[in-house]
Amino acid sequence: MSQENSFTALDVSRDVLKALERMGISEPTQIQQETIPPMMAGRDIIGIAPTGTGKTIAFGIPMLEYISLSETRIQELVLAPTRELAMQIVAELTELARFIPQIRIAALYGGQPMSRQITQLKRKPQIIVATPGRLLDMQNRGHVRLDQVHTMVIDEADEMLKMGFVKDVTRIIESVPPARQLVMFSATTNRDVMTISWKFQHTPIEITVEATAENRPQIKQYTMVVPRENKMGALQYLLDSDEYDRVMIFVNTKFMTQRVCDRLRKQGYKAEALHGDIRQSQRTRIMNDFKSGRFPILVATDVAARGIDVDDVEAVINYDLPNENEYYLHRIGRTGRARKHGVAFTMMTFQESVRMDEIQRYMESQPTPLKFDETRILRRENGDAFFEHV
Ligand code: ADP
Ligand code: MG
């Protein structure tokens, strides 16, 4: 490891270095290299980087380095759009803070009784990770005071603002001291993200990590031209081509998640469907079971899978071509995380291949075409797929 690209060179303290080592993390990613120094220096930041590039640690480290351990007020606040994300951020911060036992983190999100969260607040946490709705609720009831917050992070800002949280986020920003540090992270920019930045950030530093295939050379991409009526057969063929412990299949509608999932189950596969209409508690259970390896195949829509961090997804299969170019990037970004090899297969009809060309121009990548041919067997080795004659 070169001295230039190490967490030590970024002035990270010994306790956090120890935690990183324990997490198996040795080299900072680009967004971490570029975010940690200015954020530790107290600057406002707007960071745009694709999913899976390590944004949590990018803001998590400066947050931990910047806490006054003796202070019992809430000093730092992270806003996340969903309960799942809030839980993931808490988990990652807790890991990072493993060797700083004085740090207390409270999580505030809907779908859990307030009483339990109020108990957490009574322990005087320095850090709060929250979804906007529950935080405002807690503030209104007088359980949370944010007048000592010096660092506020908005994670997945694009997603949060798309979900209609503009007013809530604005109210929360206005309730922390105006001199606070405001850091925003997002996979993409949009008008609302820029508006919040322009209104509330003080001479922010803009950090952009380009959404190109170069961020993630560990993902091998393959395309298959398959007539619509053969997609199910091709899907089974792909699933049978290897012993996958974790595969994500993406479709475009809630209806299709259920349909593909049901058909797979009929064929004896262990699969679950994840979409926006499933109850929150059920979604959490499905995600946890998928993470812990209780079932190998998750069929999901883009919305349901957004921001979900599951390591060790070995393959992503696009059963439908995504409707938006950036969705393709988010989808394949589910695999190849944490510097592991991943493979992504995209099934498309002949007509759809034009759309796929457009996606690839956006991605600046070149997938390998695979021919669906039942007389040959697909094999994978070290992330490469190739055909072998039967
Ligand atoms: P993002 O928020 O950009 O989508 P996450 O912060 O969720 O990405 O990180 C994705 C995964 O990569 C997590 O499992 C995280 O532990 C891991 N990770 C983060 N930083 C590094 C690093 N420097 N080296 C290896 N793995 C990392
Ligand atoms: Mg993230």
94-119 mean pLDDT: 94
Q: Are 89 and 80 in contact (CB under 8 A)?
A: yes
Whole-angstrom distance, CA of residue 183 vs CA of residue 132: 16
Residues, the chain, total? Answer: 390
40-44 mean pLDDT: 96
Whole-angstrom distance, CA of residue 7 vs CA of residue 78: 22
Structure tokens at 57: 């640690």
pTM beyond cutoff 0.95? no
Chain Cα centroid distance, residue 85:
8
63-70 mean pLDDT: 93
The reply to whether ligand 1 has any atom less than 6 angstroms from the CB of 50 is no
Q: What is the pLDDT of residue 385?
A: 59
Q: Which atom of ligand 1 approaches the CA of 307 most closely?
A: 4
Cα(238) to ligand 1 centroid in Å equals 28
What does the domain layout of the chain look like in residue ranges? Answer: 3-208, 218-389
Query: With bands split at pLDDT 50, 70 and 90, how would you rate the model's confidence at 353?
Result: confident
Whole-angstrom distance, CA of residue 366 vs CA of residue 364: 7
The reply to whether ligand 1 has any atom less than 6 angstroms from the CB of 337 is yes
Whole-angstrom distance, CA of residue 260 vs CA of residue 319: 9
Q: What is the pLDDT of residue 44?
A: 97
Return the residue matching tokens 């697909």.
Answer: 378
In this predicted structure, the answer to whether residue 102 has a pLDDT above a threshold of 60 is yes
Q: Please check whether the two domains, 3-208 and 218-389, share a CATH topology.
A: yes
Instruction: Express as a percent the part of the chain with pLDDT over 70.
Output: 90
**Amino acid code (one letter) for 377:** I
3-208: CATH topology: Rossmann fold (3.40.50)
Q: What is the pLDDT of residue 306?
A: 67
Structure tokens at 361: 């121009």
Cα(21) to ligand 1 centroid in Å equals 14
Q: How far is residue 200 from each of residues 81, 152, 166, 169, 178, measured CA to CA in Å?
A: 19, 11, 13, 11, 8
The DSSP bridge partners found for residue 225 are: 348
103-115 mean pLDDT: 93
3-7 mean pLDDT: 75
Maximal C-alpha separation, the chain: 69
Q: Are 338 and 332 in contact (CB under 8 A)?
A: no
Compute the half-sphere exposure of residue 283: CA atoms within 13 Å on the CB side of its CA.
Answer: 19
In this predicted structure, the answer to whether residue 375 has a pLDDT above a threshold of 60 is no
Structure tokens at 241: 């081509």
Q: Express each pLDDT in 292-336 by its tens digit.
A: 899 999 999 987 776 566 777 889 999 999 988 888 888 888 887
Whole-angstrom distance, CA of residue 348 vs CA of residue 353: 6
Q: Express each pLDDT in 209-251 by its tens digit.
A: 876 554 544 688 889 888 888 899 889 988 987 778 899 999 9
In this predicted structure, the answer to whether residue 118 has a pLDDT above a threshold of 70 is yes
125-149 mean pLDDT: 96
Q: What is the pLDDT of residue 377?
A: 55
Architecture per CATH, 218-389: 3-Layer(aba) Sandwich (3.40)
Could you tell me if residue 52 is left (phi over 0), alpha (psi between -120 and 50 degrees) or otherwise beta? left
Q: What is the pLDDT of residue 212?
A: 58
The reply to whether ligand 1 has any atom less than 6 angstroms from the CB of 35 is no
In this predicted structure, the answer to whether residue 386 has a pLDDT above a threshold of 70 is no
Nearest CA to ligand 1 atom 9: 54
Q: Express each pLDDT in 20-33 by its tens digit.
A: 999 889 899 999 99
In this predicted structure, the answer to whether residue 12 has a pLDDT above a threshold of 90 is yes
Query: With bands split at pLDDT 50, 70 and 90, how would you rate the model's confidence at 1?
Result: very low
Q: What is the pLDDT of residue 339?
A: 55
Q: Which atom of ligand 1 approaches the CA of 88 most closely?
A: 7
Q: Express each pLDDT in 153-175 by its tens digit.
A: 999 999 888 878 899 999 999 99
Q: What is the pLDDT of residue 390?
A: 39
* Mutational pocket test of ligand 1: of 5, 56, 59, 87, the residue with most ligand atoms within 8 Å of the beta carbon: 56
In this predicted structure, the answer to whether residue 358 has a pLDDT above a threshold of 70 is yes
Whole-angstrom distance, CA of residue 220 vs CA of residue 378: 14
Whole-angstrom distance, CA of residue 25 vs CA of residue 17: 9
Q: Express each pLDDT in 245-301 by its tens digit.
A: 899 999 999 999 999 999 999 999 999 999 888 887 888 889 889 988 999 999 999
Instruction: Express as a percent the part of the chain with pLDDT over 90.
Output: 57
Per-residue H/E/C for the chain: CCCCCCCCCCCCCHHHHHHHHHCCCCCCCHHHHHHHHHHHCCCCEEEECCCCCCHHHHHHHHHHHCCCCCCCCCCEEEECCCHHHHHHHHHHHHHHCCCCCCCCEEEECCCCCHHHHHHHHHCCCCEEEECHHHHHHHHHCCCCCCCCCCEEEECCHHHHHHCCCHHHHHHHHHHCCCCCEEEEEECCCCHHHHHHHHHHCCCCEEEECCCCHHHCCCEEEEEEECCHHHHHHHHHHHHHCCCCCCEEEECCCHHHHHHHHHHHHHCCCCEEEECCCCCHHHHHHHHHHHHCCCCCEEEECHHHHCCCCCCCCCEEEECCCCCCHHHHHHHHCCCCHHHCCEEEEEEECCCCHHHHHHHHHHHCCCCEEECCCCCEEEEEECCEEEEEEC
Of 193, 108, 96, nearest to 146 by C-alpha is 108
Mean pLDDT score of the chain, rounded to an integer? 88
φ, ψ dihedrals at 135, nearest 5°: -65, -45
Ligand nearest to the CA of 329: 1
* Whole-angstrom Cα Rg for the chain: 22
